[in-house]
Amino acid sequence: MASVRVMTDTNAGLDFLDHTQDIPIMRSIITLGDNDYVDTVELSASDFYSALSRDHSLFPRTAQPPMERMISAYEQLKKDGASDIIFITISSKMSGIYQTAQIAAKEVSGVNVHVFDSRSVAYPQAAMTLKAHSMAQEHASATDILSKLDAMRQNNHIYFAVDTLRYLVKNGRLTGAQGMMGSMLKIKPLLEIDADGAVVSLEKIRTFKRALNKVVEHYQIKTAALEDVTPFICHANNEAAADYLEKALKEQDAALENILRLPLTPAVGAHAGPGAIGLGYIKT
């Protein structure tokens, strides 16, 4: 019988969810000041955001997991009996991990490696990973798992707002000119991840509170006709904004009881910046 194993990368934030420990996680490296850290293992989300709050001169950078580490993970899973490996990555529009994983797959033989572009990040990527793992545990085929992942990829969305443009600009998510204008006008852009997995701007808003209200507005319009979706909030050390979004949603829908709230892992927060917050849904 074919044995399918599942792996993911650090950007899914799987560490913040209950899961079995047999899902390999390819972790990014965070450079903060003069030191390098393995995401979440050597630098927790709370410590990361605290460091940025204490020293505004710090600017974090990230490096994707080395190809050698991916090859080693593939080889280990093959040794453990896997006939197929499904590697669920952050959107290829946000990182080079997807491309590197594909190249690494060509370096191993005797196992089928399927690199799946989640076209997302954070909880949607994590939810896909956990679903794939659950199906694999029930002996589903790689084909059936990939089909389910494709359906999940087409049925999720995230809207988010950032408190500062500094990190988006320095990490190349916005041009310098856009960043300069945004800083002068105190713009808080409303962003979304589009169907291709790219971060795009929806609106330019003057205050963060208005941006939060717009996040809720767009979310409610998007989900109005949808059923059986799981809402979630992900944030970069911004519990107050998370409280605000949760309250706004529950005021609009009294039947809504639980909204999943998760931190953004340092690898994601390094690009979005402290205070960033996202509201989204996924149909599992």
* pLDDT over 90 at 90, yes or no: yes
38 in any annotated domain = no
pTM: 0.94
Same domain flag for 196 and 90: no
The pLDDT of residue 261: 95
41 in any annotated domain = no
Joined tokens for residue 253:
């829908």
46 in any annotated domain = no
**To the nearest whole number, what is the mean pLDDT of the chain?**
92
In angstroms, the CA 123 to CA 264 distance is: 9
Which domain-ending residue is among 153, 181, 197? Answer: 153
Which domain-ending residue is among 124, 153, 182? Answer: 153
What pairing do the DSSP bridges indicate for beta strands 260-263 and 230-235? parallel
In angstroms, the CA 159 to CA 276 distance is: 11
* pLDDT over 80 at 111, yes or no: yes
Same domain flag for 142 and 272: no
228 in any annotated domain = yes
Which domain-ending residue is among 153, 181, 207? Answer: 153
Same domain flag for 167 and 250: yes
pLDDT in tens, 225-258: 998 999 999 999 999 999 999 999 999 888 888 8
* pLDDT over 90 at 134, yes or no: yes
88 in any annotated domain = yes
Polymer length of the chain = 284
Count structural domains, the chain. Answer: 2
142 in any annotated domain = yes
Same domain flag for 18 and 144: yes
Cα distances (angstroms) measured from residue 270 to each of 48, 80, 90: 9, 34, 15
Range of the domain at 183: 156-282
- Average of per-residue pLDDT across 126-142: 97
57 in any annotated domain = no
Concatenating the DSSP letter of every residue in 216-246 gives HHHHHHHHTT--S-EEEEEESS-HHHHHHHH
Same domain flag for 164 and 147: no
- Indicate which CATH number applies to the domain containing 192: 3.30.1180.10
Same domain flag for 9 and 144: yes
Same domain flag for 164 and 233: yes
